[in-house]
Each structure stands twice: as structure tokens, then as C-alpha cells.
Amino acid sequence: MNDYIKKLLNKSSVEIAKNPDEIDFLTEKEANENPILLHSPKEKEHRSPEEEEIASLSKRGYKLLHDGLYDDAIICFQKILDIEPKNAYALVGIGDAERKLKNLSSAIKYYEIVLEDNNRNNFALFGMADCYKAMSQYSKAIALWERFYMTEPNNITVLTSLADSYRKINDFSHSKKYYEKVLALDSSNSYALIGLARLYFSEKDYDTAIYYLNSILSTTTDLKTKIRVLTSMGNCYRKMKTFNLAIDYFKKALKIEPENFYALYGMADCCRGLGRNEESIYYWNAILKNDPNNKIILTRLGDAYRICKQYDKAMPYYKKALNIDYDMYAVLGIALVYKEMKLYNEALNKLNQLRMQKPRHFRAYVEMADCYLCIGQKENAEAILLTYLKMGMTNPMVESKLRAIRNS
């Protein structure tokens, strides 16, 4: 790696996040139009046989890349390098193919070779930045995109990439700045509007998030975008506990896509929040039709049946969730079924298991105290609450329960 690239990548040492979103920058049309990237062949009538072969291989290589035949594209581009080892078109082509194959370190090496000869090759910069983004090395990706931004401050792809990467490292002020630059160039850019909505949602500023989402909803004709916006608006209202408003948006999403996970989940959770548990059962079941091993949904469905006092239906869902993986809420659910059925010893056994697995989970102690009181063991009820407090923990429910026991 040359000194230029080292300097470029050492600009930022910010902590990075995980789970990058990939963005494909290079299209066949862009590659063929890019004046920096191309080998700049002579006019056809003045080409040598060697140049004719390079032009033919270049065209074929990018066609293979466009068609998703990445290994074949690499072979094709390598033939160009056998003729001309520094051909930027072929080097970027191999870099893009390796990137598509998730061979990110290998892709970066090819982009580096291009940048060593021409540090303004935007497609190598883009490809390299995208690799670092896919590797969750957002600070390095940002350094490369910032370099490109200096020469093309109105490039919307660069601006959105910068905004996304800053969002990934929780630098919301910079992220907002770049999303807003996009909107200054294109006030209806749905990508930037959604990005800003996500930022405000993460800051729990749901009203502002709704403002940006509404801007998209009023203009978009794309159904996928519309569904995404409707469910996002539903989630904003759900977080504000205005469940009836949230339901309106989730229902609109379900009219377009009846099996949409986020709309079904939102409906179920809103019904739960409104105490309409029998209705929530319908939506939890609808999710399980397509995702039968989702242990969170299995536990939620168990809870809904338990609240409706359908204990014989609740138990199998809790047990199925536990068969998939340990779930503290499934264990708690089983314990509460036993408690509500007045099987206090069985409930205590399950709650004690939960306490051993999650010693700081206050709910286990409160429910155990209740069970002890139900079987006339006041001293044990007080003792289990003190066990929690002696760990240096504080919780208003535990403290309130202890006061009530001591005052009784």
C-alpha cells in the first residue's frame, strides 16, 4: 500500500459498528462512460490488433460482471492484464468481481494498484470504500468518500454513502449534515428522507421522523417504498403509544402486502398494548405461518394465550420457544401459567431456574415473593427480595413489594 493510501485511510480512528448495508456503485453503463477508468482506446480504425483484443475483452468482461458471472469476468479481465498489467479498466473490473464474491481483501488489493497510479480514479475509490463498508470499517470508508467529496461535492451517491456510514458509527450530526446536503440537491430524495427519519427515530424524536416519512408518502409511487414508510410511521406512533393511529398505518401496509412481517408485528403489538389480546393472537399466528421457529413470536403468542387464560394453548408455545433456544421470557411465561393455575411449587421451581440463569432479573424475585405469600411463607417472601437487594441492585417494584410485606 503506497503512502497516499495509508495517509488517506489514517484520517479517522472512530469506533465502528456492525452489520453494514452494501451498495453497488458500478454499473455497466457507468463503467463504459467513465473517462478516468477506461483504457482510452484509440478510434477503431487506428487500433492495433492488441488494442482491439483489449477493447473486446473489456466489453465482454463487464458484460459478464453485469450478468453476475463473476468468476468468468475475472478470467476475462486477467487476459487483459496479461497483455497490459496496469490496465485500470481490468484492475477495477477484477476488484468489482472479487467484491461481489465477498473476497473483500482481494478486491482492495486490485483497487490499491489502480490508486497507486491514479489517485483520482473514482471507481477504484468507490469500490475500495464499499469494501471497507462491507467489512464494517466505516472510518476507512468515510476517509475515501470524504476524499471523493472534496472533488465532487454534489455527487448524491457519495453524500448518501457518507451519511449512512456516519450513521453506522453513531455520528448523527455528520450524518444529518450529509443527508441534508442531498435534500438541498433533490428535495424529494427518498433515500435521504428515510435516512433522516431513521436518525430521528433512533433519537426518539418520533414527531420529526414522521415529518420526513410523510414527505415520502405524499410523493412516492413505488409500492416497496410505500410499505416501508407506512410500517415506519406505524412504528413511530407505536413507540409513542398512540396505538390506534399506529394501527391505521399498519393496516394500510397490510392492504398492499398482507404477509408483511413488520406490519403484522406492529398490529399484534398494538393490539397487545390496547389490551385486545384475542385480536393480537390472530396476528402472532399470521407471522408464525411464514416464520414458525421465531422464538420471540412464539413467546409473545404464549403470553397472549396466557393473558386470555387459555393455559393449555399457551404452554406448547413457551415450550417450543425453549426447544429452539433459551428464552427467559418463555421460562417466565411458564412460571406465570403455573402461578395463575395456583400451582405455586411448580411456579417457584421455574422462577428459581430463571433467577439462577438471570440473577439480576427483578421480575423473578417479585413473582417468587408473590408465590411464597400465596402459600403463607411470608419470611421466605421477604428473604427472596432481600437477596436481590443485597446484590447491590435497586428496583422500585422490589422495594415496594418489600415495604408492603413488612407493613402487612
Which domains does the chain carry? 1-146 (1.25.40.10), 349-408 (no CATH)
Tell me the average pLDDT across 16-43: 32
Residues in the chain: 408
Asked if 373 contacts 401 with a C-beta cutoff of 8 angstroms, the reply is no
Q: Which of 33-42, 63-72, 129-138 is the least confident region?
A: 33-42
Compute and round to an integer the Cα radius of gyration of the chain. 29
Residue 20 has pLDDT above 50, yes or no: no
Residue 21 has pLDDT above 80, yes or no: no
Count other Cβ atoms within 10 Å, centred on residue 380. Answer: 16
Asked if 182 contacts 191 with a C-beta cutoff of 8 angstroms, the reply is yes
Q: Note the Cα 361 to chain centre separation in Å.
A: 27
Residue 31 has pLDDT above 80, yes or no: no
pLDDT reported for residue 262:
97
Highest mean pLDDT (candidates 159-168, 215-224, 333-342):
333-342
pLDDT tens-digit map of 93-106: 999 999 999 999 99
Residue 42 has pLDDT above 80, yes or no: no
Average predicted confidence (pLDDT) for the chain: 88
Q: Please, which pLDDT band fits residue 45 given cuts at 50, 70 and 90?
A: low
Q: Please, which pLDDT band fits residue 48 given cuts at 50, 70 and 90?
A: confident
Integer Cα distance of 364 and 264 in angstroms: 30
Integer Cα distance of 295 and 297 in angstroms: 5
Q: Please, which pLDDT band fits residue 150 given cuts at 50, 70 and 90?
A: confident
Cα distance between the two ends of the chain: 75
Q: Please, which pLDDT band fits residue 159 given cuts at 50, 70 and 90?
A: very high
Q: Note the Cα 387 to chain centre separation in Å.
A: 39
Query: Could you tell me which residues come within 8 angstroms of residue 405 by beta carbon, excluding any fewer than 6 positions away?
Result: 369, 373, 378, 381, 382, 385
Contacts 24+ apart (CB under 8 A), 115-120: 115/2, 115/4, 115/5, 116/2, 116/4, 116/5, 117/86, 117/88, 118/36, 118/88, 119/4, 120/36, 120/151
**Widest CA span in the chain:** 102
Tell me the average pLDDT across 290-319: 97
Burial 65-102 (b: 16+ CB within 10 A, else e): beeeebebbbebbebbbeeeeebbbbbbbbbbbbbbee
Integer Cα distance of 149 and 131 in angstroms: 18
Residue 51 has pLDDT above 60, yes or no: yes
pLDDT reported for residue 23:
23
Query: In this structure, what C-alpha cell is assigned to residue 317?
Result: 408455545
> What is the tally of helices (H) and strands (E) in the chain?
23, 0
Q: Please, which pLDDT band fits residue 147 given cuts at 50, 70 and 90?
A: confident
